[in-house]
Each structure stands twice: as structure tokens, then as C-alpha cells.
Amino acid sequence: MNEDDTIGLEARLPDQEYYRPPPKFVGQANGTDPDIYERFEDFPDGFSEYAELLTWDERWDETFDGSDPPFFEWFVGGSLNASVNCVDRHLEERKNQAALIWEGEGGEARTITYQDLYRQVNEMAAVLREVGVEEDDVVTLHLPMVPALPITMLACARIGAVHSVVFAGFSANALADRLVDADSDVLVSIDGYYRRGEWLDHKAKADEAIDTEETAVETALLWSRHDDLHEGVELTGDDPYVLVDDVLAEKQGAHVEPVARDAEDPLFLMYTSGTTGKPKGCQHRTGGYLAYAAGTSKYVLDIKTTDTYWCAADIGWITGHSYIVYGPLALGTTSVMYEGTPDYPDRSRLWEIAERYDVDIFHTSPTAIRQFMKWGEEHLAGYDFDFRHLTTVGEPIQPEAWQWYYDHVGDEDAVIVDTWWQTETGGHLITNLPALEDMKPGSAGRPCPGIEPALYEDDGTEIEAASGRAGNLVIERPWPGMLQTVYGDDDRFIDEYWRRFSDTDSDDWRDWVYKTGDGAVHGQDGYYRVLGRLDDVMNVSGHRLGTMELESAVAEVEAIAEAAVVAREDRERGHVPDVYVVLRDGVEGSDDVRKQVIASVEDEIGAFARPDRVLFVSALPKTRSGKIMRRVLENISNKEDLGDTTTLRDPSVPDQIREQVQTNG
């Protein structure tokens, strides 16, 4: 949906009933005191409660410095190390407790205690030092769901290097773009990994990224995942590769002194899709981010040290950073980490794991739930799992999917929270605290403690609270988990998130309003229901993709003169990309061209971004000034009314397209 014609979305869902959290949940929850909201209203000092959950080398002098908006600072003057907080400080009380229980796709399992994690993080930190990584260097990680990933992240944190994790499903080109943007000359990759029983040669992507002209990788550290079925990699010696195992062998038992990082020193970059051009590197600070991830893990996820917690996301996205690695480990819990897909070797895989490790808290996405629903509840039958707490993230959850999750996964006896947040926000911003609010299917719920959302009209006027009207979701007050900037591009940071609804001339932080890009409704009960993106960003199976990124990938195909990509609603995947294509003169639409389009998207971004349909049309709907009206295409894709088309240069185009879509779609 375009921003110009935003709020066509209105509250469409019928009223939902509420569900009470069961007393046995409430009795044991971390957050049972409703005063928490009040405490955090004491801005900014309320947030120091989260910082108190951490171990600091130097305590902060000032909770918040808003003197140079929107470049806010948190826990000013404090210093700490994230790996100490996630590992070292747990040794005294729980060195033999599992920190991570890793389950390989083929059924191998590895339990990594806090003591093991300490040893491995130190040894890897020594490896990074050995190859010349220094404080503040950006280290790019392109790793699948293997222990090497969190170990390398924490090793970077230990020596004060900034990690930039690129989801393993991203292509070589996408990896290369991120290496270049971050000026990163160290890459950490792996020989390969398994997906549905098949060995994927992951190093091939590293090879290609390194060979890309613009990248300048000096060292590529390569972990090994191969086993008897596959040979290891032979290195020639004259490439930038170093086998991690070779250097690790020399670093057995190494201790690397953790570097005290200023609270404002960056901890990591996470690239995410925006409305324009290339993905942007969201830069997260050490102190505020870690405090916010730990605080929300405690109160929203209700994590305790004695729990077995399982977030079935990939660490390559923000959810895995905050809620597999940093939050849960900072709290000293036991986390399950699963390498594979939910349907391998069969569709009961997750429930079998949940039973085996007696998982207490399970975190997944609406996309996954819709898939479980489609597969049928028979796949859960016979597995003896017992979740206390269930959570979702990534997209709005339809009440039917919520209900299914509640009935079949939660056994009508678990609490569910729907957590709304973004890569940029570092942690949850809108979600109920599980023991304090009633659940309402389809609604994310109330703002987290200390968070001040609001809804604005397109012209920037504020919509009255609890009016039930849809508007642009904004956040009116800073919070510690928020991104610091877009890496290397402060102007873009201001343009993307602040310019639209802020008084950018003001140096009073109260005049600066964070734009989320989402639309939402604030109900009379005070619950927010998030409707989805209002900008040119789409959410495909919970993965965030920019229209522009997709379009520029499609434009690489020789036969194509012009293309536009829009999101079509899909029962299973949430949204899927539809590609509308105008071919060059003399070229015929064919399956071959379709394949080229799909291949180009896989090549530029990754297979997870694959378009659903490639539709050949004779013209795209354009305004008189030549701007493509994607909204019209989106309405065609979703079989909705066309809306206002009076600004179209050629008003007959939508009908032509409809006809062409029917014949070739």
C-alpha cells in the first residue's frame, strides 16, 4: 500500500472475545505487579530497571541524553561487555546448566553448557584476534542455524567487534552488498549445511561474494559442518580463507579478556529492507539494546533460569538476535536451537523436539502456525509436550490461527502473546505482559512498559486515543532498544524514520516522532491491532522485503522493459510478491522469461524472496507525471475495488491489466 493513499484500511475484523491467563501461570510469572507500567512512566529513569538486570563494568551516570535528537543516548557513561553478560556471569551459579541445546536436522544433538559456551566463545575470540580483528571492526557472518553462529556473535562482542549477521538464505549478491555497505573485510562462513536431507554448499556463496569486484574481503573464516557423507574443503592457501578449526586447535583453553564497551558503542548491525534502494544497516548500541532485550525477555517472554525456552526463528533475523541469543542468554536460561525445517523428516518434528526437551516456552510466527494448521492437528497427536507460554511475532495473527495455536499447541492452557516490533526497535514494543492482561486473538495488545505509541493521520495530526480508527503507527518517546542510526548514513536514518512526523528543526526530543511504517487501530479497550505495512515494504512469510529491491532484481532480466512488484494476500504465507512485467518490444511472454525473473530474484536476494506470479502486461498504471501506481496493481492482485483512478494518465490500463492477468496469470 502506498503512503499517499494510506488509510484505506479500517477495522475489518469482528470483535473478539478475551481469554484470561490461567491462575497457575499468573502465580509463577515474572511480571505480576501492574505497577510496572507506572514505574516505567517515570521517563527515562523507569528504563534503568532493565539496565539493572545487567552486569556493568562501569555504572551509567545518566539514563538518557536527548540533547541531539534523533541521536539519543542511553545509560550514558556506563560500560559493559555483552559476552560477559550472556556467558561469564552465569558461571558461578550454573556453569553445568545447558545454555544451548542444539538439535541438528538429521537428529544429532549437542548440549552446550554455560561452561562450554564460555570456552568456545573465548577460543573463537582468540581466533578472531589471531586473524587481526580489532575493536570496532565490522565482522560479517553468513551462517546457518549451527552453534558456530551464536558463538561467533558472542566472540565478536567479547573483543568489541561489531557483528553483521546476514541470514544464510541470502544470495551471494545480497551478501556482497552487505559486506560493501558495512566496509567489512572479514567474513565468517561455513563449508555447508543440511536442508531437508540435502547438503548445501554454502561456501559457494562466500566464494562468489568474495569474487565480486566491490567487496574487499581480506579474511574469510570457514567453519566446518561436513561429516562422513561430505568431504571437507581443500584450501589452496592463496585465497582469503582460513579454516576455523585449524586456528581453534591452537587456541585450546584460551582466555580472552573481555573488552569493556561504552554503553553507546555499537554491538551489531542488522540489515533490513526499507522503502528505497538497498537494505539499510540498523545499528544497535551495546547497553540500551542488551538492557531492552533482557528486560523484555524477562517480562514478555517470562523467561526464568530454570526454563527450557525455544524460539523457532532463525538467528539471521532480529528475532533470533534478541530472543535466541542476547535476551535469553543474558537471563541465563536454557535455549533450544534447531537447525532444520519443521517438516523434516516429518511434520511432527517440532513437537517431538518439544517433548524430548520438555520445552516450557515456545516462540514462532503466524506463517508457521498457518502451515501447522494446514498440515493438520494429527501431527501433534501423541506428543507429550506441555507449554506454559506461547508467543508469536512477524505479522498480524488472524484470530483463526490464534485459536488453533491456543487449542492445539497450548492445549487451552497456555498463555499466548502476540509481539509487535521491528528490526529497528531492538525488542518488543507492543504486546501484552502475559500475566497482566487478558489475551485477545488478533490484537497485539498494550504498549510495553515505558513505550508510548500513537496513531497519526497522513497529515500528521494525532488521532484520538482508543478511537477505533486506523492510522499511521508512530512512537512518541525514545526507548533504549531503538536503533542508533543507519550505518554510515545519518541522513537516511532521519529520512526513513523521523522526517515525516517530526519537527526536525527542533532540538527538543519531544518534537521527534518515530515512524514505524505500519498502520494500526487503537481499540476502545486500549489494545492495538496492527494492520500491516503502509509503505513499500512487504512481509513474505514473516520476512521483510522491499518493493524496490525486488523490482531492481527483476529489472536485471534482459527481456524486461519495466516491472512493478506488489504484495498479494496469501492464506498461508501472509503476503507473496506478484511481479507485473512489461516486456521489451519484440519479446514474447514465455515460461522461459518467467524462469529468468525468478532466477534473478533468487540470485539478487535469495530463494525465500521468490515471486509467486510473474504477470505479463502491456502497460503499467501510471500517473500523469509517470509515477507507477502500485496501489492499483495491488488492488488487482487482491481482487479488490480499484479505488480512485482519476489520476491515471490512461484510465483504461487497469481493465487491460485485469484481462491480461486472467488470461496469463
* Residue ranges that bind ligand WTA, judged by CB under 6 A: 272, 317-319, 393-396, 418-423, 444, 516-518, 530, 532-533, 539, 544
DSSP 259: P
Taking the least distance from each CB to ligand WTA, the nearer of 518 and 578 is 518
Indicate the residue among 398 and 637 with the shorter CB distance to ligand WTA: 398
Biggest alpha carbon distance in the chain? Answer: 73
Instruction: Give the nearest distance from C-beta 518 to ligand WTA in angstroms.
Output: 5
The DSSP 8-state label assigned to residue 529 in this structure reads E
Q: How far is the CB of 547 from ligand WTA (least distance, A)?
A: 14
Helices 172-181, 591-604: inter-axial angle, 10-degree rounding: 40
To ligand WTA, the closest distance from the beta carbon of 511 in angstroms equals 23
Name the residue with the smallest CB distance to ligand WTA: 423
Sign of the C-alpha dihedral, residues 236, 242, 245, 250? positive
Which residue number, 272 or 596, has a Cβ lying nearer to ligand WTA?
Answer: 272
Q: How far is the CB of 467 from ligand WTA (least distance, A)?
A: 20
- Among residues 422, 374, 417, 370, the alpha carbon closest in space to that of 394 is found at 422
276 contacts 294 by C-beta, under 8 angstroms: no
Partner residues linked to 143 by β-bridges: none
State phi, psi for 243 to the nearest 5 degrees.
Answer: -75, 125
In the chain, the amino acid numbered 96 is N
- Minimum separation from the CB atom of position 366 to ligand WTA (A): 8
Cα radius of gyration (the chain): 24
| 244 versus 293: smaller Cβ distance to ligand WTA | 293
CA distances to 35, 329, 364, 406 from 414, rounded to whole Å, are 24, 23, 14, 7
Instruction: Please list, in sequence order, all residues whose beta carbon lies within 8 angstroms of the beta carbon of residue 36, skipping any fewer than 6 positions away.
Output: 299, 433, 436, 449
Nearest to 288 by CA among 122, 78, 498, 99: 78
Name the strand (E) or helix (H) holding 222. Answer: strand 219-223
User: Residue 356 CB, nearest distance to ligand WTA (Å)?
Assistant: 28
Residue closer to ligand WTA (CB basis): 534 or 583: 534
CB of 436 to ligand WTA, least distance (A): 18
Nearer to ligand WTA, 544 or 573 (CB): 544
Full DSSP string of 69-112: TTS-EEEET-EE-HHHHHTGGGHHHHTTSEEEEEE-TTS-EEEE
Reduced to 3 states (helix: H, G, I; strand: E, B; else coil), residue 533 is: strand
Nearer to ligand WTA, 141 or 530 (CB): 530
| Upstream peptide bond of 144 is cis (omega within 30 degrees of 0) | no
Minimum CB–partner distance for residue 431 and ligand WTA (Å): 7
98/534 with CB nearer ligand WTA: 534
Q: How far is CA 424 from the centre of its chain?
A: 9
Query: Are 217 and 240 within 8 A, CB to CB?
Result: yes
Find the shortest distance in angstroms from Cβ 519 to ligand WTA.
9
| Nearer CB in complex with ligand WTA: 282/557 | 282
Complex with ligand WTA: residue 152 or 296, whichever CB lies closer: 296
Tell me whether residue 586 is exposed, middle or buried, using C-beta atoms within 10 angstroms of its C-beta: 0 to 12, 13 to 18, 19 or more: exposed
Shortest distance in whole angstroms from residue 655 CB to ligand WTA: 32
d(C-alpha 185, C-alpha 177), whole Å:
12
| Shortest spacing between CB 542 and ligand WTA, in angstroms | 7
Number of H helices, E strands in the chain: 21, 30
| Shortest spacing between CB 372 and ligand WTA, in angstroms | 17
ω into residue 366 within 30 of 0, thus cis?
A: no
Nearest to 449 by CA among 44, 25, 18: 44
Hunting for cell 498504471 — which residue is that? 621
Q: Kindly tell me which of 44 and 517 has the beta carbon lying closer to ligand WTA.
A: 517
Residue number with CB closer to ligand WTA (262 or 424): 424
